Copies of this chain bind each other. A is one copy, B any other.
Amino acid sequence: MTDAIRAMYINCTLTPSPGESHTDLLIEASANILRKQGVEVEVVRAVDHALAPGVQHDMTEEGASEDAWPALWQRVLAADILVLATPIWLGDASSVFRRVIERLYAESAELNDRGQSIFYGKVGGVLVGGNEDGMKHVAREAVYSLQHIGYAIPPQVDTGWVGEAGPGPSYGDEAEDGSRAGVDNEFTNKGVTIMAWNLLHFARMLRGGIPTEGNDRNAWEQGERFGFEQPEPR
């Protein structure tokens, strides 16, 4: 059905498929909620795709031997909802997460047919999992970057799981007593639920797009200022 809301999760684990990813478990918890509401969900493991370094649309035109981004970009474009999901290393997101941000950023000069950023009308969120500390730091990077290029950020769309300071199990790891780390964490589970639904609510709300006043960059280029005046010192 072409009218279904589409959601794309980009798993930024460092582990290629079919290796196990703790981040995948978080993604599934979230994606299952959306699937039940008829959302078409796609999960992509970015490290499986040869995303060339660079900030142009197609790095093969700049000399790279291969670049999976142009194909992946079409799928990003087709999705109403984008969720970046990443593990934590040394308190920050993975290099793969960073690579995805770079490639998204490289598209930020693209406009839709209303003169707005090509990302307008889409919504974004972030899932973070680590064995310890760094969830909010990573969420800052994701939420900031997505809104800066044109995604809308519904309320409370950052969540995940981290354990106590120091080495320890990652999300979903089984302990000696058979319990699995994080999976019954009330805070995480509630966060995952709120996030999934708020992404859906906003994706529906934005299906008709965002009004163009103020953000039509073609009009700005042609001299329209939408009421802006240079501030005068007092």
Contact = CB atoms under 8 A, between A and B. Distances in A.
A102 B160 CA distance: 21
A234 B89 contact: no
B230 A184 contact: yes
Interface residues of A, number: 107
A18 to B, nearest CB: 9
Contacts of A163: 164-165
Interface stretch (A2-10, A73-81, A189-197): A189-197
A158 interface: yes
Interface in A166-216: 166-167, 172, 174, 180, 182-190, 192-194, 196-198, 200-202, 205, 210-211, 213-215
A53 to B, nearest CB: 4
A26 B232 CA distance: 10
Interface string A208-228: 001101110100100001111
Across the A-B interface, the 4 shortest Cβ-Cβ residue pairs: A197-B214, A166-B187, A91-B136, A153-B153
